[in-house]
Structures are given as structure tokens and as C-alpha cells.
Amino acid sequence: MLNRGIEETLVPYALSNALGIIAYSPMERGLLTGKYLNDEGLKASDHRSGYFGQFDREKVQALLDTIRPVAENKKATLAQLVLRWTTLQPGITVVLAGARNAEQAAANAQAMAIQLSEEDRNIIDSALAVMHPPQAALKDNILLRSGSMKKRDICRISAVEPPPGILQILPDRSYIMSFTLETPRLIIRSFAAGDEPLYVSTHQDPLVNKYLPVRSEEQYREVFQQALVQPDASLNRWAITAREDGAYIGSCLLREFNPGEEHVIELGYSLAAEHWGKGYAREMIAGMIAYAFSLKQTYKLVAVTHPENKGSQAVLQKNGFVCRGEVVRYDNLKLTYFEYAPGAA
């Protein structure tokens, strides 16, 4: 909660490389328990006296005063609330919490049972915003890439007075203008009107739509138009094109997995058959993972495939997705369900 520099550096790197993050000392050596807001509870020889000096303890006190009612409402301690909040942050797979005895260890484990609503998270995030006021967005927010490509290449998202057509990230992570995300070989961008024939013809190819829900040409045109009229949406359907020559490769999407449940985001994509087998899908997915978890709302990233679509399943698994069983979607069609799990690739 108090040291969050990794959110702009290590977290994007870990997410794009399918790595897990172990959060060390989530309680800031006890400071977030509220017991050490002054030095009275510390011995002169306690190393934490110097460590705590880096924090504005009046602000820490204000933070704890704000989130304490959330903990009390959950019949939890401040320590348990902090631990649970930490486990819900993008990329965090393990939280190391110290315990002096078995009772404390058991209390730490019980933190996982706390259910934080959207309202709860908003209260906590608002309190943290006071602790960490937004900084000016970087001119170039570079997310690192996975695989054998060079560093600083997976996905470049320009911010602060970007050129026309480039996604702008504001300090509060709202999005304006049309969307553009770059990977080493791809540009993922908002649809243009001229993309409609390519989008429709790609989805009418029997090789492409073999495992997709049955739609007519008119229905595909309607889907395209829905994406076209909201180029500034942070969740949408986008074109995938080649950086080298602008060739249309396919489309991808991020959307709420269940409408109204904004913290579970679904990833989907379709590539034109002539572009299969070139590694484009894996590269695109890595970029979209990094982007999805740059969104404050994303707590879980999921995907579904037709049970017989082994190719897409293999690509998802190579990018860190794990099969979690089946779900029923699209007119009672059973689909294989995947969740992104850093470190699983």
C-alpha cells in the first residue's frame, strides 16, 4: 500500500512475461497495523525507527482511519484487510506476511476469506490516492515484452499530448482519443470504417468461424459498427494490423465476461487464416495482457474457446492461461474456460 513503485515497472514486466510477484512485507514492518504511528512502541535499538522515517505518519494515520470502518464491517483487523487488498492487486501471486506465533499465522490466513465489494475497494483506493497523488503521466510508458524479443518492445502506449490517434493515459487511468497499442510486429488499433469488409470477410471464412458462434454477415456488420462508434472505450473490439505494411491481420477484444461484473475481463481474438502460424496470436495476447492489467478495474482476465479448438487453447496456455473447466455461453454452448495465472506459462 505504501510502496507502489512496482506498479509502473515490475508489475507490467511480470504480467507480460507470465511471471508471478511475491509481495514482501505487506504490513510495512507493522506500520499498517496502526501500532507504530509514533516511536513510543519501539525500543531504541529497533531498526524500524529509521525505516518508518521515510513515511509521513500523519498521512498513514489518515489512511488507516479511513479504511478502518471497512475492516470493522468485515469483522477483520486492519492487518487482515491490508493483506486481502494486497492479494487482489494485479500480478500478485504470493503475499509474505510475518507471524510471531501460530495464532498470528492463522489470522493472516483468514484474511483470504474477506470479500471486498466494489464500494470497499473504492474507499481504499480513494484513501490511497491521498497517500499517492497522481504524478504526471510519462511521455512513453513502455511495457516490457515476453519471449525472445528485445526489451522495451512489447507494447508502447504514448501519454501526455500524444500524436493524433494514440491512446492517452491520464493519471486516473481514464482513456481518451482512439486506441493504439504497439508490439514488435503488430499495431492494435481502433477500427476505421474501411476495415469493415476485411472484418466481415475474415469471419465468413469457414476456417476462421469453424469454432465461433454462428452469425450472419449482417450480424458481423452490426458487431463491427458497435466497435466503430466507441473508439475511446477502454474495453472494445480492435483491429490487429502489421507494423511493417499495415496489412489487416485480424481482430481482438476485451469486454466484461458477464455484463455488470466489471472486474472480470474476457480476452478474445480472430486472425485471418493466412496469418496463422506466424506467432501473431501469442504476441497480441501478451500485449493485451499487459494492457488489461493496466486498467484499474481488472482483477481477473479470462478467455473461452470451443472445446475442439486446440490451437487457440495451446496459444492461451503458452501465454499463462490455465484451463479451469467449462462454462455455458452463446445459446447453451459448452466452452472451455481459461483464467490468466502469472507464472503458469
Quickly count: other Cβ atoms within 10 Å of residue 113's Cβ.
Answer: 10
Residue 173: its pLDDT value, please?
Answer: 36
Q: Would the pLDDT of 268 be above 70? A: yes
Short-list 267, 286, 305, CA closest to 186: 286
Q: DSSP of 69-81, one letter per residue?
A: HHHHHTT--HHHH
Length of the chain: 345
CB 269 within 8 A of CB 319: no
pLDDT higher for 109 or 218?
218
Topology of the domain comprising 140-340: Aminopeptidase (3.40.630)
Q: What does the domain layout of the chain look like in residue ranges?
A: 5-131, 140-340
Q: Is the pLDDT of residue 262 over 90?
A: no
**Nearest Cα to 316, choosing from 288, 295, 294?**
288
Which position has the higher pLDDT, 36 or 313? 313
Instruction: Look at 29-43, 110-124, 151-165, 324-338 and tell me which has the smallest mean pLDDT.
Output: 151-165
CATH H superfamily, domain 5-131: NADP-dependent oxidoreductase domain (3.20.20.100)
Reported in sequence order, the residue ranges of the chain that DSSP labels E, i.e. its strands, are 21-24, 92-96, 140-143, 155-158, 168-169, 175-176, 180-182, 186-189, 237-242, 248-256, 264-271, 300-305, 321-329, 333-340
Return the minimum-mean-pLDDT range out of 15-19, 80-84, 109-113, 186-190.
Answer: 15-19
The predicted structure's pLDDT at residue 307: 94
- The confidence band for 169, taking pLDDT boundaries of 50, 70 and 90, is very low
Q: DSSP for 284-316, please give it.
A: HHHHHHHHHTTSTT-SEEEEEE-TT-HHHHHHH
Reference 284, options 324, 330, 238; nearest CA is 238
Percent of the chain whose predicted confidence (pLDDT) is above 90:
33
Question: Which range among 16-25, 102-111, 118-127, 193-202 shows the weakest confidence by mean pLDDT?
Answer: 16-25
Of 110-119, 129-138, 188-197, least confident by mean pLDDT is 129-138
Cell of 153: 518492445
Residue 155 has pLDDT above 60, yes or no: no
pLDDT at 205: 95
Phi, psi of 232 (to 5 degrees): -95, 5
244-274 CB burial, b ≥16 within 10 A, e <16: eeeebbbbbbbeebeeeeeeebbbbbbbbee
pLDDT at 165: 37
Going by pLDDT thresholds of 50, 70 and 90, the confidence category of residue 222 is: very high
Contact 302, 267 (CB under 8 A): yes
- CA dist., res. 136 & res. 142, Å (int): 15
- Work out the angle at residue 264's Cα, subtended by the Cα atoms of residues 11 and 155, and round it to the nearest 5 degrees: 40
Rounded CA-CA distance 7/15 in Å is 11
pTM for this model (two decimals): 0.53
Average pLDDT for residues 195-212, to the nearest whole number?
94
* pLDDT number for residue 53: 62
Query: What pLDDT score does 304 carry?
Result: 96
- Per-residue pLDDT band for 161 (boundaries 50, 70, 90) equals very low
Q: What is the pLDDT of residues 36-58, one digit of tens each?
A: 666 566 666 565 655 666 667 78
Query: Could you give the CA distance from residue 218 to residue 269 in angstroms, rounded to a whole number?
Result: 19
pLDDT above 50 (res 158): no
pLDDT score of 213: 85
The DSSP call for residue 53 is G
